[in-house]
Chain A
Amino acid sequence: MGAVAELAERLRSGAVSSRDLVDASLLRAEATASLNAFVCLDPDGARAAAAQADDERARGIDRGPLHGVPVAIKDNLHVAGLPTSCASRILAGFVPRADATAVARLRAAGAVFIGKTNLDEFAMGSSTEHSAFGPVRNPLDEERVAGGSSGGSAAAVAAGVVPVALGSDTGGSVRQPAAFCGVVGLRPSWGSVSRSGLVAFASSLDQVGPIAADVDSAQLVLEVLAGPDPADATATRSLGPAAEPGRIGLITQLADAVPPAGRSVLDRAVAALGGAEPVSLPSTRFAAPAYYVLASAEAASNLARFDGVRYGARVPEDSLAAMIRSTRSQGFGREVQRRILLGNFVLSAGHRDAYYRRGLAARDRLRSEFDVLFRRVDLLISLTAPETAFPVGSRPDPVAMYRSDLLTIPAALAGLPAVSVPVPGSGLPWGVQIMGPAGADRSVLAAARRLEAALG
């Protein structure tokens, strides 16, 4: 039984109240404050919601397994009445009036929000070192990063503050921090969970996903989140049923990119699942460069709205152009500015064909290659990251950081569901990634559950 299901049982039996759970959660958040996992906590709101959940339960209302369970939300997803910062100074003072759809669905299921978690600014990063509010530290070793960009959510789950948290995954931002922190992270099929109320980074790549203590809990959250939404015209991908265990393919290009320590973890996982056949994804070497071209181009466009005109921190100047430039230059951090510059560059006349169009072509190739693979096998396996959590401050070179996303990027470019399952060991945890065709999230999770059981 997963952590959420266990809590649900204890709540239903009356062994514990939602107030108890929320108090414990807030205490734990306080005790682990050095992790810097939270941008803000909402003790009053959480206690009020917990009281309401207990009250409803006493009146015989049961909203499901999440009813009265404390949950944390990445601070690029709107929670009504709480500020949304995206870990950026430029959004100072922005308080949304409505929940993001994913958040609203959790709220309707009775979840209690204890606070907003820290992230790389505007979800751009792989370590949560690019937050305006300081880095998030790994609960397993505070000298190391929690991964990114959903580092706060992963740390909050790994530290036992909450059993589940919402994150967002654009190139690996749910899966990689989950791997680094030793928890489960799911990236659902693109288009299966509404992005309304998620502050857009790269629209064709962004997806909201759960980070959880175990696969069962992650699945529980997916079932609440998934489904069409009138507020998101692209949320049209339906999820298929879980298929019987089938054939698994091991992508050789991804396997070859990891050091021996990681390779032996991957081999263990493959053995635990009953074996995998080697398969090829020839365009792998274009994946990370293509991702950074496309994601930066979309980010440059999505972040054009941050100009100090209608919301956020405005830097006063005499002319409009100067005001916009100063507002953005002082409000955005270094990494965000880097990506906006790169995005404008690859879209500019004279470079658009060389970079942006080729990025699209690389993406098309990867999609076709995955289609071919999924005619031979049902699922694909790889590691989630080519490494375990690295020390804070040890990777200042942007290109080195970008390269390290190579294992999570292909599934993101192709819109495929992918889950990271932690492999416990003597040292820092590794994550193993299972991917499936679009819509096969339940099959991917079924395999993940088998792996978790076999390794646990």
Chain B
Amino acid sequence: MSSVDPAVVARIAELAALDVPEADRAAITAEFAAIVGWIDTLAELPDTPAPAPPSAALALRSDVVTNPPGSDLLAVAPAVTEGRIVVPAVLED
């Protein structure tokens, strides 16, 4: 039903923010194609309309501040300066 070639894998890898190293590309593509071939079983189902909203209602929360000021971040963040998280520059490539 769907063709899975290295171009498709490359595009999906970009969406997924994952590298697919050149050396692994063929193996990963073949594996991916096999998985997609298997899930193609679903093609036997007819086209479906948009799903209805889920039936079980979510429990809501009352609007009261429960979290004290402070941060859970500092204990685990890789790079923080003056309380702000630091990351490499957002360069458009």
Chain A residues proximal to chain B, CB less than 8 Å:
93-95, 97, 191, 228, 230, 233-237, 285-286, 289-290, 292-293, 300, 304, 307-314, 316-326, 328-329, 332, 337-338, 340-346, 348, 351, 353-355, 357-362, 364-365, 397-399, 402-403
Contacts and interface: CB of A to CB of B under 8 A. Distances in A.
B9 to A, nearest CB: 7
B75 interface: yes
B5 interface: no
Tell me what chain A mostly uses at the interface: helix, strand, loop, or mixed.
helix
A351 B35 CA distance: 14
Interface of B: 1-2, 8-9, 11-13, 15-19, 28, 31-32, 34-36, 38-45, 47-48, 50-51, 56-61, 72-73, 75-79, 85, 87-91, 93
Contact of B15 (A308, A314, A338, A344): A344
A309 B85 contact: yes
B88 A95 contact: no
Contacts of A311: 76-78
Given A310-B76, A310-B77, A319-B90, A233 B58 contact: yes
Contacts of A309: 78, 85, 87
B76 A338 contact: no
B3 to A, nearest CB: 11
Nearest to A94: B76
A227 B23 CA distance: 50
Contacts of B60: 233
Contacts of B91: 318-321
A341 B88 contact: no
B38 A399 contact: yes
A320 B90 contact: yes
A399 B39 CA distance: 10
Contact of A323 (B35, B61, B88): B88
Nearest to B59: A233
Contacts of B45: 286, 358, 361-362, 365
A230 B34 CA distance: 43
Given A289-B42, A399-B35, A341 B12 contact: yes
Nearest to A93: B76
